[in-house]
Structure 1
Amino acid sequence: MAVHRILALLFAMAVPMAGAVPVQAAEADHPEARPYDESRAAMVDVALALARAAMSRKRAILVMGANWCHDSRGLAGWFATPRFAEMLGSRYEIAYVDVGHPQEGEGRNIDIAQRFGIAEIVGTPTVLVLSPEGALLNAETAPTWRNAASRSEDDIFGYFAAFTPE
């Protein structure tokens, strides 16, 4: 019983964090958002996303990026649009993890990616799709998002829609 109370408390605390990410004016043909916060306790955010996913039987998305990264901002911007928010919100729990500048040896939170089998962050964003149990489902494509800002809205939408049934 105590475990259920703790999970309920964690879920209640996490719901406000799962709110909408503000969308900013696009620098190109896509919206942008800056949800990456280096001061956040990334391990806690990931643990909460995984706990919510397990409770709701949704999948989790861990977006490992940074506000300095055009592609990270672009993907986060798409996620914040109504079209994506509706689909993602019904199928996924999302956590944004700030990774700093891993390509320059100034990375942070890389241990989170390593926990799921991604040895290093070679580009940002790196996007992990996890089962409700926390198993990595997109090991081959997780590091391929460093061109997210140049991908089409429909391609991005289709990628994430394909991981779960409606």
Structure 2
Amino acid sequence: MIRAATVLVFAAALSACATVPASDAAYHPEARSYLVSGDAMADVDAALVQAKQNGNRVLLVMGANWCHDSRALAGWLETERFSHLVAEKYELVFVNIGMPQTKDGHNLEIAKRFGLDDLPGTPNVLVLTANGELVNADTATTWRDSASRSEDAIYDELALLAHKDA
């Protein structure tokens, strides 16, 4: 009985991770970019230095590989369309934050550094000026639906944030 229940749970988990065909309206690419860094704060600092040198902003994506929405956003950022925008306007940093909503968060001091005391879920997208000013305090924690946003909606918001005043 327990074995049958375990098999059913495992099968359900696998079906939830099944690849969605490109013809499906809800299609989005998925990637795993939230590597555990030995010093995520140093990674952010290096991106800020690079942003100053290049006249760019920092696109700080705080998410986790367990998170469907985090992987969806990372997948879009890897596509040709987004990679051009990111290369022109941003220094991209992925930071693994674990599961902050269950009090098992990691690297949360990075969000606090930029004025966000609470990360209610994943992913979070912080757009920073080269001086470390948070440009999108009003929307940084609203990306938890990234897998259901359209490609154009995500692109348009990131393009807008590349030029928005801090």
Same fold (TM over 0.5): yes
Distance 1:111 1:50 in 2: 16
Identity of matched residues, %: 52
Which residue in the other structure is 2:40 paired with?
42
1:134 positional shift: 1.0
Residue from 59, 65, 68 that aligns with 1:67: 65
Which residue in the other structure is 2:112 paired with?
114
The one-letter amino acid paired with 1:42 is A
Which residue in the other structure is 1:17 paired with?
none
The answer as to whether partners of 2:136 and 2:161 remain within 8 angstroms in 1 is: no
Distance 1:164 1:30 in 2: 22
User: Highest Rg: 1 or 2?
Assistant: 2
Distance 1:26 1:88 in 2: 26
The one-letter amino acid paired with 1:163 is L
1:39 positional shift: 4.0
Which residue in the other structure is 1:103 paired with?
101
Paired positions, count: 141
The one-letter amino acid paired with 1:107 is G
Which residue in the other structure is 1:142 paired with?
140
Distance 2:147 2:38 in 1: 24
Trace 1:5-16 onto structure 2 (pairs within 5 A): none
Residue from 106, 116, 130 that aligns with 1:132: 130
Moved over 3 A (4+): 25-28
Shift of the 52–143 alpha-carbon distance from structure 1 to 2, 3 Å rule, reads same
The one-letter amino acid paired with 1:102 is P
What's the Cα RMSD here? Answer: 1.4
> Gaps (5+ residues) in structure 1?
1-24
1:41 positional shift: 1.7
Question: TM-score, structure 1 length as denominator?
Answer: 0.81
1:38 positional shift: 2.0
Which piece of structure 1 moves more, 137-146 or 30-39?
30-39
Question: TM-score, structure 2 length as denominator?
Answer: 0.81
